[in-house]
Amino acid sequence: MPDQSERSGSRPWYRILRLPLPLIVGAVLVGAFLIVALLSYVWTPHDPLKLVVPDRLLPPGSRDYLFGTDKFGRDVLSQLMAGARNSLYVSLLSTSVAILVGALLGLLTAGAGPLWRNVLSRLIDVGVALPGILIALVLATSTGPGNQAAIAAITFWFIPIAARVTIGPARQILALDFVEAAYAYGRTKWYVLLHHVTPNIAPLLIVLGSVMFAAAILIEAALAFLGIGAQPPTASWGRLLQESQPLLEAAPTLMFFPGAAIVLTVLGFNLLGDGLRTVLDPQQASRSGLI
């Protein structure tokens, strides 16, 4: 939705720069997340999987262990970094596949004739109506618990949504004058979809990607928390939270760090999405009422 202030012309309190504040804060948080996640591939303070059982449950600030250790004597900071990597991996893969497939499906539906459009729309509706958590549970069981189950679940959860979001704007653009002109010029429908519609819905998809990425992180954490996502010894924020539960007396900080990491990252992606929406195409976004 647009910022009202843009219409009224005055700036709200948070507009310090030309860019909206949410975009800046979001970009900083997302950037930090990406740096930590990518850094963890090459460097972590300790090996996140290295067990030093005699060093178990050290409090934060202990020698060598800035954030303390878990019940296996693993370094919490390293685990958090590896967890960021896992979130990035699962969310990026599932979100990008879902958006690519979903958008393609949406474009096909929008461009199809009345009969196929109706059939495909109904099928997409069916996909949207199926509760995602159900799909996730069943997929996790059938593929065996693990990251691959989480990725499959989130992808299938998001595809119909991405498709549904695409159909409307795509059809709207197809109905515009310049599309008529393109047809008159002898362009095929597919040419129009590819060269006129796709670039126009790209901003929408970018915003959608950011928001879906945030949701994917939350879902990944929840699936890992329920024991059907990332499996040990893979470090995942949700799994770290689950493992911290029984240690709430012995090591209360274990519960704090992964939760805070999730909140900051999700917040970052949502703010980024918000900011992008304002910057990229407020008109479009406001018209859609979707995101």
Partner 1 sequence: MKGGPPHSAFGSRYGEAVYAGEDAAAQCRETPLARVIARSVLSLALAAVVGSLVVFVLLRSIGGDVAHIILGQYATPGALEALQEELGLNAPWYVQYRDWLGGVFTGDLGTSYSARFDIFDEIMRRLGPTTMLAFGSLLISIPAALAFGTFSAIQVKKLRGGVVDVASQIGIAIPAFWAGLIMVLVFGIRLGWFPTGGYVSPFEDLIEAVRGLVMPTLALSLGITSVLTRYVRSAMLDVMGEDFIRTAMAKGRTRRGAARVHGVRNASVSLVTVGTLQLGALMAGTVVIENVFVIPGIGRLLVTSVLGREVIVVQSLILVILLLILVMNFLMDIAYVLIDPRIRDRQGGRAIA
Partner 2 sequence: MRNLYKKTRLGLVLVALALVAVACGSDDAEETTTTAPVAPVTQAPTTTEAAPATTEAPPAEDPRGTTVTWSYTQEPPNWDYRETGLTAVTAPLLLNVWETLIRIEADGSPVPLLAESWEVSDDGLTVTFNLREGVVFHDGSEFTSADVVYSMNANGQASVDRTASPYNAVTAVEAVDENTVEVTLGAPSLTFVNTMGDRAGIMVPEDFFENNDAATTVIGTGPYMLTEYRIDQDLTMTRFEDYWGEKPYFETAIQRFIPDETAAINALLGGEIDMVASVIAEGMDRVFAVSGENDGIELVLIPGTEVSYWLLDTNVEEFQDILVRQAIQHGHNRQSHIDAATAGTATPSCSMAVPSGIAWDSDYCPYPYDPERAVALLAEAGYGPGELVLDFPFANVAWHTVMAQVFQAEMAEIGITINLRSLDLATWLDQVNTQGQYQIFQITSGAPLTNYRCDRNRQPFGRGNQAFCDEQMDTRIDAIEVIADYDEYVAAQRELHDYVADQGWIFATKKPNVPVLYRSDLAGIKQHRLPDIHIYAGDLYWADS
| Residues within window 209-228 making contact with partner 1, judged by CB under 8 A | 211-212, 214-215, 218-219, 221-223, 225-226
In the complex with partner 2, which residue's Cβ is closer, 206 or 255?
255
Residues in the chain: 291
In whole angstroms, how close is the CB of 224 to partner 2 at the nearest point?
Answer: 12
In the complex with partner 1, which residue's Cβ is closer, 192 or 266?
266
CA dist 110 and 266 (Å) reads: 31
Check residue 51 for interaction with partner 2 (CB under 8 A).
yes
For partner 1, the binding residues in 73-92 under the rule CB under 8 A are: none
Residue 215 Cα to chain centre, angstroms: 5
End-to-end CA distance of the chain: 7
String of DSSP letters for 216-264? HHHHHHHHHHHTSSS-TTS--HHHHHHHHGGGTTT-THHHHHHHHHHHH
Binding mask 170-209 for partner 2 (x = CB under 8 A): ----------------------------------------
For partner 1, the binding residues in 254-283 under the rule CB under 8 A are: 255, 259, 262-267, 270-271, 274
Q: Exposed, middle or buried, 246 (CB in 10 Å: 0-12/13-18/19+)?
A: exposed
In whole angstroms, how close is the CB of 17 to partner 1 at the nearest point?
Answer: 16
> The tokens of 283 are what?
């008109």
Check residue 179 for interaction with partner 1 (CB under 8 A).
no
